[in-house]
Amino acid sequence: MTTAGTAPPFTRYGGANCETSAFHKMLAFHGVEVAEPLLFGVAGGINFMHMPPPPGGGRSFTGGRNGPFPEFTRRMAEGVGLRLDVLVTEDADRAWRELREQLDQGRPVIVYGDLFHLPYFQATRHFGGHAFIVHGHGPGRGTVSVSDRCSRPRTLTLAELAAARGSTHHPFPPRHARLSADWASAREPAEDDIRRGVRSSCQAMLRPPVPTFGLRGLTAYGAGLDHLVRRAPAEDVVAELVGAFVDFELAGTGGSAFRVLFRDFLCQAAARTHDAHLRRAVPLAQACVDAWDSFLELLVPAWTPAFTELRDTYREREQWLLDGTEEALVRAARLGARLPELRADAAAGLDPMREQLSAALCSAVRRLVASERALFDELKEV
């Protein structure tokens, strides 16, 4: 793999969220250590969002982060004192040429691509807002070396890289995006950066721009789940519940709809600022994590053998994907091949538990709303 003679080797892999881990690893490569939760917090990372199914069909999209790329990404860069350039092009040849020039100088690059075209994730849906680092290339082999959320280095062919970066599928077609900044000039977040990040999360949760976001959106989402579980076809219910479980828990959130990352941020923020409101917010943030964990357990409840096996299979598959060895990816593929049958089995046993599940989910969402309101009522005073 090509590197400049003076460049250190790239040795950082893994991470909770694709963008915060990419930033963390890029900064560390340039000698600046900023923990992933702190990056998430200064970006004002917390929100709730629910986007209904598109008119042409498919399931809804749910999330727990405040803002897509590049809004979230620019706030994160500002929190460590960086001016960030987001470079995009529709020209695949130009995109590779410019990336290769950086790699030839020993400079790793954060790029964006569609998960569907990254074979080590074995994704079945398109998502073009995924960030990863390309840190070397083999001119004679037609490959690049990649650092992603997997705990080990990955290798992509140039064709795979081009397909991921040039995908035109929604949501968030990547347009060959790559990030450019004077990474070595980054600094640790200051108190003002921490407070600004907290205010951004408060704004998103307490005064959302649309009624399906923030605390309003979370309340409405609970009502929608009640209607869904009671009345929709069983296959649609399972698809929506499982999809939300993946969105909130497994899709690069760090667990519990990003609330674990936010709790850890608040712990660090309280220690750095000695702010009484931040200190009181830490146990409230833990209560939110607990409430989210209870809610997520109900999305794929261990009430029948079929549901239990379905949830366990999703979790085990995710572990193998993040392990990243060839043997692990084979195991993940075997588990993934079983998921359609397991979802069908779960749907077949849904009817007797509809009323109980609907009531439990509504109660869990009410607890979520109450715990999050308590947290953000405290944080709005920061």
Tell me, rounded to whole angstroms, the distance of Cα 324 from its chain centroid: 18
Beta strands in the chain (DSSP E): 46-51, 61-65, 85-87, 109-113, 130-138, 143-147, 154-157, 178-180
Beta bridge partners of 136: 145
* Residues carrying CATH 3.90.70.10, the chain: 18-185
Fold observed for domain 18-185: Cathepsin B; Chain A (3.90.70)
- Which residues, 6+ apart, have CB-to-CB distance to 363 below 8 Å? none
Mind listing the pLDDT tens digit of every residue in the chain (382 residues)? 444 445 689 999 999 999 999 999 999 999 999 999 999 999 999 999 998 887 777 778 899 999 989 999 999 999 999 999 999 999 999 999 999 999 999 999 999 999 999 999 999 999 999 999 999 998 889 999 999 999 999 999 999 999 999 999 988 999 999 999 999 999 999 999 999 999 999 999 999 999 999 999 999 999 999 999 999 999 999 999 999 999 999 999 999 999 999 999 999 999 999 999 999 999 999 999 999 999 999 999 999 999 999 999 999 999 999 999 999 999 999 999 999 999 999 999 999 999 999 999 999 999 999 999 999 999 999 9
Supply the DSSP symbol for 253: S
- DSSP, collapsed to helix, strand or coil, labels residue 325 as coil
